Amino acid sequence: MNSGHPGRDATSIAAYLADLATRDTAAGERATATRAAIVRAAGREPTAYAFPPDRSEVRRIDWVHRGWLRPVRFVFRHLPTGLRRIVKKAAT
């Protein structure tokens, strides 16, 4: 795996990756501490962070799975690709 370049051997790559992992861990700890400080300043107790669901996306495509739309989906999926693109462009 040595390509002949200095600093490209397996040991230096492993050391570089270990250094990156250490930096990443330190940055994550700083970010967690900063978030906890901001949440405490707002008068709340910090909890584990979770990305909020994108509710607008869920609501927007939920109607697609209703039973009355099955024949429409069938017809749409069997249209030629060019016609489908025109329909999609017109729908958005």
User: Could you state, in order of their start, the residue ranges of all structural domains in the chain?
Assistant: 1-50, 55-91
What does the pLDDT read at residue 57? Answer: 58
What does the pLDDT read at residue 54? Answer: 65
What does the pLDDT read at residue 48? Answer: 83
What does the pLDDT read at residue 1? Answer: 47
Q: Would you state the structure tokens that stand for residue 72, as one six-digit string?
A: 């429409």
Length of the chain: 92
pTM: 0.45
Q: What is the pLDDT of residues 44-58, one digit of tens each?
A: 998 887 777 766 655
Q: How far apart are CA 23 and CA 25, in angstroms?
A: 5
pLDDT (mean) for 14-34: 95
Q: How far apart are CA 66 and CA 73, in angstroms?
A: 10
In terms of DSSP H, where are the helices of the chain?
A: 10-41, 55-62, 70-77, 81-91
Q: In terms of pLDDT, which residue wins out, 5 or 73?
A: 73
